[in-house]
Amino acid sequence: MLQDKNIVLGVCGSIAAYKAATLIRLLVKAGANVQVVMTPDATNFITPLTLSTLSKKPVLVDYFIPETGEWNNHVDLGLWADLVIIAPASANTMAKMAGGLCDNLLMAVYLSAKCEVYFAPAMDLDMWKHDATRENIVKLQSFGNILIPPGVGELASGLSGEGRMAEPEEIVAFISSSLKKKLPLADQKILVTAGPTYEAIDPVRFIGNHSSGKMGFAIADQLARLGADVTLVSGPSAQKSKQASIKRIDVTSAAEMLEACLLHFQNSVACIMSAAVADYTPAHPVQQKIKKADNYLHIELKQTVDILSTLGAQKTNGQVLVGFALETNDEEKNAIKKLQMKNLDFIVLNSLNDAGAGFKKDTNKITIIDKTLQKTTYPVKNKDEVALDICHKIIELIKR
């Protein structure tokens, strides 16, 4: 959820400022770009050098840098940020936020921000319970700011109770969950297949195809970005998912892919079968390497179980099933036949005759044909963009 997000992390004067170091590490590990803005008092608790080293960006404290005369532009920072997180948020800073006071750079960035603002209070028990603090929290929430509730535990004063800043792991989990709930595919279970299958002839040889898995992996990544709980069943592929939340299941043969799909299909709201599954497999694979002998080697082949047809026969109302058709001739005719025979909701057609389409490329050119035979043709795009077009069609069908 935090991949490529621009985050302004505001650090205030509180003993809990030491937790900002861990929070930055977690945000950066999640793929976020973190710009730290500290209040002057915060620098008494943890050094800007520590936080700049972890964030890989200079920490900003003042409006101006006297040595260079440079201005830290709070308006630009507010526009740059996808999220503002103020952690720890001291009682003093929350009072300034509630009252619109602007006596330091962090408050100027806060007042300039166009994005969501999260705040994680940190203070002693009596300060947390004070009526003024409670009123300020209510006021901040009325502005649309999002409270990350403090925990209960030992406080700096020696007291024990509420007011302890949430742990960095809890903050990241809270924000990720909050962001995910707003996405169009939040918590929808979706199954994706990708890559080729390898059908064993003997222990060292196989029948396969040229599929790299790029298209299927791009679809899985885009679905995860849109909030889906994605299970990716992949044949042999060097591709890697960009989204850590994706559950990947590696298989080799068509039979193994069928088994994995049957295990997860029933609980999936949608299934996108982008794998290039072998149509035939050796009828009698041997256990020892076949030695070269005669000029000709005859291998008897048998049909594999058609995974797409099997899932199409099991599909229930409300499930969306998507297939792919890579064709070399009579493209639309063959794609429509496959669409109707296999009970698909739509099929993604691409032709090896189109420049920019085909195996192992970073681009693709597709036509989507749905079960009403409505056709949408797209220009050549990179596969991430193609994947997003396919995802938008899935969202359209799921939301009906």
Q: Do residues 212 and 240 make contact, with C-beta atoms less than 8 angstroms apart?
A: no
CA dihedral 310, 363, 390, 266 (to 10 degrees): 30
From CA 160, how far away is CA 157, in angstroms rounded?
Answer: 8
**Distance in angstroms (rounded) separating the CA atoms of residues 332 and 310:** 23
Q: What type of residue sits at position 85? A: I
Cα 43 vs. chain centroid, distance in angstroms?
Answer: 34
Active site residue 73: no
Helix axes 214-225, 383-398, angle to 10 degrees: 50
Residue 121 CB: number of other CB atoms within 10 A?
Answer: 30
List helix spans (H) across the chain: 19-29, 48-55, 74-80, 91-99, 105-112, 125-129, 131-142, 168-181, 214-225, 254-265, 307-314, 331-341, 383-398
**Sheet of strand 33-38, all strands in order from the earlier edge strand to the far edge:** 33-38, 6-11, 83-89, 116-121, 146-147
Measured over the CA atoms of residue 295, residue 199, residue 314 and residue 275, the dihedral's sign is negative
Match 């002998």 to its residue by tokens.
293
**365 burial via Cβ count (<10 Å: 0-12, 13-18, 19+):** buried
How far apart, in whole angstroms, are the C-alpha atoms of residue 116 and residue 111?
A: 12
41 vs 254: CA distance, rounded Å? 62
Q: How far is CA 136 from CA 141, 164, 270, in A?
A: 9, 17, 45
Contact by Cβ (8 Å): 148, 120: yes
DSSP state, 17?
G
How many CA atoms lie less than 13 Å away from 15 in the CB half-sphere? 9
DSSP string computed for 330-361: SHHHHHHHHHHHTT-SEEEEEETTSTT-STT-
Pick the catalytic residue: 73, 92, 209, 382?
209
Residue numbers annotated as active site:
209
